[in-house]
DNA sequence: CAGTAAGTTCAGTCTTGACTGAACTTACTG
DNA sequence: CAGTAAGTTCAGTCAAGACTGAACTTACTG
């Protein structure tokens, strides 16, 4: 691996982006970014700590969290005691699907709001009806899109 | 407005949700939540401050921010000096459209990552190619979905 | 059964950013 | 032109949470 510095800078960029977009901890983003461009694609905790200048504790906590939400895999090599981490295949579709869950929650919140109004059908409820209809629409359509992509992918 | 307490609790729930989902400041979320269920739908800064137990400064900063990102409108009543705020019509579609912008940025990041690899076409690049293809797919499809909804809405 | 390497846990530090309160600006009103 | 109400700005406070470093657990190895 020649351009380690460039790849590190890339990991950092990914981290900043994820932090802003989804509230993902900076260090978790760095790990994700590095695992996207490192060679080989599997890295152990010590390697991650060294290249990212992070403490063992931080790596441990963040890898566990990334495992928990399903973004990475933990694998072991026969005869070795160390754990190796890698980007999980299918991560991105799952991640999007998970983010799309929020849409359903917002549709439900709109419902709860309408229940508070004296006249949900009237002009007073227009705000929440618009919110409800939009989110209901996407709650219906987004899973179909993901499905469509998974089918296209298989071919 | 009889059930003020229930509506306040609702505003709080909206605030917590938006905070987690999009990193929106708690107080901005409270304002949005309250503007969704208040009666009348227009409220001035003093009213907002009182009902939400917030300082003038906080209301001022947050309403300006909400105006800036286009979630609310500022209107005035002839003969009154105060500004009134209300949920902007079409807010939700715009908000989603804005959040979908991130998809394009991620597709671009995947490209930048591939450029760092020695063999982007090979096994080494599989991680980033998957990421790229997925985000490219959604970058294409999501605007179409929003368009579709806007058309359905018009009828 | 010491010695060591891998990994976890947790108390403490540090940074970030939301929020308050007070000083300030602006503009209407008697 | 004083008086007042509306709104802005900003320095300071406070809380949340990311990260470190050290103590601890676990399990392999000579």
Q: In chain B, what are the domain boundaries?
A: 4-87, 91-154
- Decide: B48 and B85 in contact? Cβ < 8 Å: yes
pLDDT on residue B154 = 79
Q: Does the bond joining B69 to the residue before it have cis omega, within 30 degrees of 0? A: no
Q: pLDDT class for A10, splitting at 50, 70, 90?
A: very high
Residues facing B85 on adjacent strands: B43, B74
pLDDT digits (tens, 9 = 90+) for B36-48: 999 999 999 999 9
Whether CATH 2.60.120.620 fits B4-87: no
Q: How far is the CA of B79 from the C1' of C30 (A)?
A: 17
pLDDT on residue A21 = 83
Distance from CA of B117 to the nearest CA of A (A): 7
Q: How far is the CA of A64 from the C1' of C4 (A)?
A: 24
pLDDT on residue B126 = 94
Structure ipTM: 0.86
A47 in contact with nucleic chain C (CB within 7 A):
no
pLDDT digits (tens, 9 = 90+) for B66-116: 999 999 999 998 888 899 999 999 999 888 888 888 899 999 999 999 999
- Test A109 with B149 for CB contact under 8 angstroms: no
Q: Is the pLDDT of residue B22 over 90?
A: no
Q: pLDDT class for A29, splitting at 50, 70, 90?
A: very high
> Which residues on chain A are in Cβ contact (under 8 Å) with B145?
138, 141-142, 145
Average pLDDT, chain A: 93
- Multiple choice CATH, A91-154, 1.10.150, 3.30.70, 1.20.120, 1.10.287: 1.10.287
Q: Is the pLDDT of residue A77 over 80?
A: yes
| DSSP per-residue codes, A45-113 | HHHHHHHHT--HHHHHHHHHHHHHTTSEEEEE-TT--SEEEEEPTTHHHHHHHHHHHHHHHHHHHHHHH
Q: How far is the CA of A119 from the C1' of D27 (A)?
A: 67
Q: Which of residues 54-83 of B touch A (CB under 8 A)?
A: none
How large is the average pLDDT for residues A87-96? Answer: 90
Q: Is A72 exposed, middle or buried (CB count within 10 Å of its CB: 0-12, 13-18, 19+)?
A: buried
Q: One fold for both B4-87 and B91-154?
A: no
Rounded Cα distance between B68 and B63, Å, is: 8
pLDDT digits (tens, 9 = 90+) for A103-140: 999 999 999 999 999 999 999 999 999 999 999 999 99
Q: Flag whether residue A106 sits within 8 Å of chain B, measured between CB atoms.
A: yes
């Amino acid at each position: 691996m020649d351009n380690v510095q460039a790849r590190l800078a890339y990991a950092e960029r990914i981290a900043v982006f994820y932090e802003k977009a989804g509230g993902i901890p900076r260090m978790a983003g760095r790990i994700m970014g590095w695992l996207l461009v490192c060679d080989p694609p599997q890295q152990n905790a010590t390697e991650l700590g060294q290249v990212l200048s992070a403490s063992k504790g931080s790596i441990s906590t963040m890898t566990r969290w990334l495992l928990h939400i399903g973004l990475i895999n933990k694998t072991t090599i026969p005869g070795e005691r160390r754990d190796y981490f890698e980007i999980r295949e299918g991560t991105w579709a799952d991640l999007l699907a998970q983010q799309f869950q929020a849409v359903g929650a917002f549709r439900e919140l709109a419902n709860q709001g309408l229940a508070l109004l004296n006249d949900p059908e009237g002009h007073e409820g227009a705000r929440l009806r618009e919110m409800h209809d939009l989110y209901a629409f996407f709650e219906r359509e987004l899973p179909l899109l993901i499905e469509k992509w998974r089918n296209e992918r298989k071919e």
